[in-house]
């Protein structure tokens, strides 16, 4: 019963966040200078022609009416139709969603695979040169903008070494080998940049573990420092890391938008950038709504993952 109440509260927060985000998205997209009618008709169009097209597209109605019309349809899963191509926004989003999901998913995994060992090493060796080198490298990594790192990777691995394709994308179903080859550089770029941010948190979480009594107990029964950390530290540290990871998801999505445009990947990010530059408002709104939804879903998952990690939270929840 308590769990049901808990889920209901969570769903309520979810709904309010979604409505809030939709208003914000709508207002911001409509505050953008320029409009799609102008883009469609070109620079030579007469003001009358532009005004007529705006009326046809429904852009001359009051904003509140436009918003309610749009959001009402969104709730039924209808994100509208692109003013430019005439395609349904959903049909534009879905194939691109796969690309972004691969990129973001692999990058999250990659950044954890980099950040956890590096952060543990930085924590264990925090008083010797190895720890300082790891921390300094992470600081340096944080200072590197994603796009610069991506371009550097293209220069080295695609242009000089010719190991990997410089850009583009091949669907998994078409050619798995080529799919992987096209994803390697974007994923590595995004992973490295995210890992640089994460390492600090991982280090801090494990330094905390090193000062815990149960770590000392683990050492006193015969675990070496590294194995004591893996055996008894990882789960405890992940309680605080999961929070950070949940917050990082949105920054990974932002990073993905940049990486997609550097590597010319047909994902949500590049769709969004194109739509913004063409003032294709319904596509912009649809894409951003989708991203907001993704972030909200992931934070809900994070919230419930505490229950899996920490038995004390389970008990607290059962007691409530």
Partner 1 sequence: MSLLDVCDLSVTFGRRHRPALDGVCFSLDAGCRLGVIGESGSGKTVTALAVMGLLPEYARVSGKVELAGHQITHLSEAGLARLRGDVVTMVFQEPMTALDPTMRVGRQVAEVLRLHAGTESGPARAAVINMLGEVGLEDPERVADAYPHQLSGGQRQRVSLAMALINAPDLVICDEPTTALDVTVQATVLAKLNDVLDASGAACLFISHDLAVVSQVCDQVAVMLDGRIVETGSVAELFARPQHPYTQGLVATARLDQTIPGQRLPVVEDFYRPGVSR
Q: Taking each helix axis from N to C terminus, what angle separates 2-31 and 63-75, rounded to the nearest 10 degrees? A: 140
Q: For partner 1, which residue of 69, 163, 216, 251 counts as binding (CB under 8 A)?
A: 216
Q: Which is nearer to partner 1, 122 or 188 (CB)?
A: 122
In angstroms, how far apart are the furthest CA atoms of the chain?
Answer: 84
Q: Which of 231, 277, 301, 307 binds partner 1 (CB under 8 A)?
A: 231
**What three-state secondary structure class fits 172?**
coil
- Select the residue interacting with partner 1 from 22, 194, 236, 285 (CB under 8 A): 236
Where residue 85 falls (left for φ over 0; alpha for ψ -120 to 50; beta otherwise) is: alpha
The count of chain residues that interact with partner 1, using the rule CB under 8 A, is: 24
Judged by CB under 8 A, which of 61, 130, 297, 312 binds partner 1? 312
**DSSP structure class, residue 61:** S
Q: How far apart are CA 192 and CA 204, in angstroms?
A: 19
Beta carbon of residue 128, minimum distance to partner 1 (angstroms, whole number): 8
Rounded to whole angstroms, the Cα distance separating 215 from 203 reads: 15
Query: Looking at beta carbons only, is 217 or 251 nearer to partner 1?
Result: 217
Binding residue for partner 1, selected from 232, 241, 262, 281, defined by CB under 8 A: 232
d(CA 146, CA 153): 11
Q: Minimal distance in Å, beta carbon 114 to partner 1?
A: 24
Of 86 and 222, nearer to partner 1 (C-beta) is: 222
Which of 217, 251, 301, 307: binder of partner 1 (CB under 8 A)?
Answer: 217
Q: In this complex, which beta carbon is closest to partner 1, that of residue 11 or of residue 315?
A: 315
Binder among 2, 224, 251, 277 for partner 1 (CB under 8 A) = 224
Burial class (CB in 10 A: 0-12, 13-18, 19+), 131: middle
CA distances from 306 to 36, 246, 261, 302 (A): 45, 11, 35, 7
Contact track, partner 1, 118-137, x by CB under 8 A: ---------x----------
C-alpha–C-alpha distance, residues 299 and 10, integer Å: 11
In this complex, which beta carbon is closest to partner 1, that of residue 229 or of residue 294? 229
The only residue of 165, 225, 246, 266 in contact with partner 1, by rule CB under 8 A: 225
> Distance of CA 281 to CAs 63, 81, 254, Å?
13, 10, 19
Among 112, 115, 164, 218, contact with partner 1 (rule: CB under 8 A): 218
Q: What is the DSSP letter of 81?
A: B
Site residues for partner 1, window 66-85 (CB under 8 A)?
A: none
Residue 175 found at the interface with partner 1 (CB under 8 A)? no
Question: From the list 48, 143, 220, 318, which residue makes contact with partner 1 (rule: CB under 8 A)?
Answer: 220
How far apart are alpha carbons 199 and 119 in whole angstroms? 5
Find the binder of partner 1 among 75, 156, 235, 251 (CB under 8 A).
235
- Give the list of residues 6+ apart from residue 84 with CB closer than 8 angstroms, or none: 36, 39, 40, 278, 280, 283
Contact 119, 135 (CB under 8 A): no
State the nearest-atom distance from the C-beta of 320 to partner 1, in Å: 15
Residues 291 to 310 in contact with partner 1, rule: CB under 8 A:
309-310
Q: Report the interface residues with partner 1, using CB under 8 A.
A: 127, 212-214, 216-225, 231-232, 235-236, 239, 309-312, 315
């Amino acid at each position: 019963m308590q769990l049901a109440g808990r889920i209901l509260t969570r769903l309520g927060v979810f709904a309010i966040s979604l409505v809030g985000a939709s208003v914000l998205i709508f207002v911001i997209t409509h505050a953008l200078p320029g409009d799609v009618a102008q883009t469609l008709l070109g620079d030579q169009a007469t003001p009358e022609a532009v005004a007529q097209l705006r009326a046809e597209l429904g852009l001359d109605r009051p904003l509140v009416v436009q918003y309610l019309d749009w959001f009402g349809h969104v709730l039924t899963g209808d994100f509208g139709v692109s003013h430019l191509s005439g395609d349904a926004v959903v049909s534009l989003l879905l194939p691109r969603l796969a690309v972004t999901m691969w990129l973001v998913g692999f990058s999250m995994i990659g950044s954890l695979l980099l950040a956890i060992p590096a952060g543990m090493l930085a924590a264990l060796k925090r008083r010797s040169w190895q720890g300082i080198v790891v921390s300094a490298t992470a600081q340096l990594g944080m200072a590197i903008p994603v796009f610069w790192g991506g371009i550097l990777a293209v220069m080295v691995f695609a242009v000089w070494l010719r190991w990997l394709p410089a850009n583009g994308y091949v669907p998994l179903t078409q050619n798995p080998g080529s799919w992987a080859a096209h994803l390697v550089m974007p994923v590595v770029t995004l992973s490295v940049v995210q890992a640089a941010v994460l390492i600090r948190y991982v280090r801090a979480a494990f330094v905390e573990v090193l000062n815990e009594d149960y770590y000392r107990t683990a050492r006193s029964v015969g675990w070496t420092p590294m194995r004591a950390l893996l055996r008894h530290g990882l789960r405890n540290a992940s309680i605080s890391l999961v929070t950070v990871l949940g917050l990082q998801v949105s920054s990974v999505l932002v990073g993905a938008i940049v990486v997609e445009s550097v590597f010319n990947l047909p994902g949500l990010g590049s769709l969004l950038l194109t739509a913004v530059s063409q003032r294709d408002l319904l596509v912009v709104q649809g894409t951003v709504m989708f991203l907001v939804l993704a972030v909200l879903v992931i934070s809900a998952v994070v919230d419930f993952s505490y229950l899996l990690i920490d038995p004390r939270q389970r008990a607290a929840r059962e007691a409530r």
